[in-house]
Amino acid sequence: MEGVNTMANGLTKPVSVYNNWAAYDELSDSIPLTEELAMRQLDEILRLRKAGVQFDYYLMDAFWFSQELDYRQWRKPHWPAGPNRWFTRCEENRLKPGLWVATNSAGMGPPPAAWKDSFDAKSRAYCMFEGGFLAGFMDVLQHWADRGVRMFKFDFARMWAATETARKRYKPVEIAAMNADALRTALTAFRKRNPGVLFSAFNGFGGEMRSTAIPVKQTVDLRWLEAFDALYCGDPRPSDVPTMNFWRSMDIYTDHMVRYYELNKVPLKRIDNTGFMIGTTGTCYKRGLHAWKGMLLLLLARGGWMNVYYGNLDLLEEGDAEWFAKAQALFLALQSSARIFTFGGLPGEARPYGFAAVTDRGSVFTVVNPSQSVQATTLPEYDASRGSVNEGRILFSDAGFHPSMEGSAVRLGPEQMAVVGFGEYADVCHDLGIQEDVVIPKSIRKIEAVFEDDGQNAVTSTLRVPDEGDIRIVMQQYVDGTPHRSTGGPLSKGTTMGNVLQIRVEQAGRSLPVEVHYDKVIWSGLSWAAGEIRKEAIRLEEPLTIRCASTEEKPVEIRADVYRVTY
């Protein structure tokens, strides 16, 4: 990063941000942002604060503004009296307000007169180095900063936007560079005038977020660290690592993206991993509170100082709030004082990995085994004079398989995560319990199964039933040797992925029930499927016929594996 100023101007310590996206969703769902919804979530913030949960900012996400105007007017009829009540409640409760902006993307209406000479009608975006847009946009940010806004989330940047004059004069790569330079210069100047205002960069500022199967290469322009406190690394979505528990695959996606950005030389504390999203809308696949504890711990363990919590806070009950506060207190203190680093394999390669937080009083390791086998993961040593890794204590894990310490390693079941404390952090006071809604098999063994092509985009295998246990089937589709994602379409009219990526099992002509968790409408696409057949449904004396198929229109390669699992 030689020659790049990576010092944060506003973010000087870890902060906790509530973002109300996923409590509403106007992209992959039809739940609108209204004043009533926004204020209801503010009440939930105050309720959770009483239990000890830390919230420093409340960021109003997309669709708060009237798209026909220039970010100065709030959308009606959803905000009939404007934002005054929201600003007042935030101020009364020492909660710093934040706003989402679409950077240089245009609304659906005509451009404001002062911005018209920057408008690119083809891409519905504004050129940032010609015309009046950028100066006007910065005036808008100053307007809201003067009103008390202390954080801006920049999304949907269109670096290729250009006026017709600029398009004739410059090459596309030059246009992108000039837009980026103009915006970076303007944001840096704004920050000097407004110390303490935080900037977070989302879509359009680099990075490769489509999948976890893409090779890591330098795709992040580190000069953005001069203007932004944090760079986000992708909206939550399933990874290309198949898991029986759908939500664990989402954990793996975000873990992989954090590693991707770290390998792009972005400091961990400057990565906004956007990894905690609870809610009832399509953007978070209607997950509710499923596996939320592990999701929260991983958000905190990854070491980013921009800790953002999305969605329906009303789903958290009083006991949940107390647990949230305990986990947050432990990890926010570590973010401030510990040396935090990654270890192990690359998550997208399905090799065990983790996040370490090391202090002179002890250490905390958050570990994930993304594979379909029991794995012992070696933990990094810390100062031997202050304790040995052999003195570790399991502070948290999924249910089912019992993690254990084996010398300098922790032994985890397939798809399992755990938190391990050493030294001061091995004390029982730091115990975070068991995640009961994620159950890991106590044993797993791969079964020899030969799959043969069975028509277009399908494979079939017939095998003898093992003497005991349930049967787990994992399939994945590939194009040119790379996992290929299919989608069933938008939430409003899309089909669920169980109809796209199909696992069918028969025994003597009888169809057997296959338990799956991935059968959802998934806006980001999915390359795999996993399912289990309970032993009670299987007759030991008859062979099983397993068929894995994809309705993908293009030819794909289907690979499948079969396991015996016991719970």
Backbone angles phi, psi at 565, to 5 degrees: -125, 145
| pLDDT value of residue 386 | 46
**In residues, how long is the chain?**
567
- Cα distance between residue 564 and residue 566, in whole Å: 7
Other Cβ atoms within 10 Å of 497 Cβ, number: 23
| pLDDT value of residue 105 | 96
Q: Which domains does the chain have, with CATH numbers?
A: 15-332 (3.20.20.70), 343-440 (2.60.40.1180), 444-566 (2.60.40)
pLDDT band at 3 (very low <50, low <70, confident <90, very high): very low
**Which two three-digit tokens encode residue 165?**
């004059």
How many angstroms separate the Cα of 525 from the Cα of each of 62, 173, 456?
Answer: 23, 30, 20
Backbone angles phi, psi at 180, to 5 degrees: -65, -45
**Which two three-digit tokens encode residue 274?**
């956007």
pLDDT tens digit sequence for 76-95: 999 999 999 999 999 999 99
pLDDT band at 69 (very low <50, low <70, confident <90, very high): confident
Residue of 209, 17, 203 lying closest to 102 (CA atoms): 203
Mean pLDDT score of the chain: 94
pLDDT tens digit sequence for 407-428: 788 999 999 999 999 999 999 9
pLDDT tens digit sequence for 225-276: 999 999 999 999 999 999 999 999 999 999 999 999 999 999 999 999 999 9
Residue of 216, 222, 215 lying closest to 201 (CA atoms): 222
Burial class (CB in 10 A: 0-12, 13-18, 19+), 263: middle
Specify the amino acid at residue 457.
N
| pLDDT value of residue 139 | 97
Q: Please enumerate in sequence order all residues whose Cβ is within 8 A of that of 398, keeping only pairs 6 or more positions apart, or say none.
A: 294, 413, 415, 416, 417, 418, 434, 435, 438, 439, 440
Three-state SS letters, 442-459: CEEEEECCCCEECCCCEE
- Cα 265 to the chain's mean position, in Å? 19
pTM above 0.85, yes or no: yes
pLDDT band at 382 (very low <50, low <70, confident <90, very high): low
- Cα 488 to the chain's mean position, in Å? 21
| pLDDT value of residue 466 | 86
pLDDT band at 218 (very low <50, low <70, confident <90, very high): very high
pLDDT tens digit sequence for 109-145: 889 999 999 999 998 999 999 999 999 999 999 999 9
pLDDT tens digit sequence for 271-318: 999 999 999 999 999 999 999 999 999 999 999 999 999 999 999 999
pLDDT band at 1 (very low <50, low <70, confident <90, very high): very low
Helix H or strand E encompassing 15? strand 15-19
Other Cβ atoms within 10 Å of 164 Cβ, number: 12
pLDDT band at 390 (very low <50, low <70, confident <90, very high): low
Q: Contact 274/254 with Cβ under 8 angstroms?
A: yes
**What DSSP string runs through 180-237?**
HHHHHHHHHHHHHHSTT-EEEE-TTSS---S-SSSPP---S-GGGGGT-SEEE-----
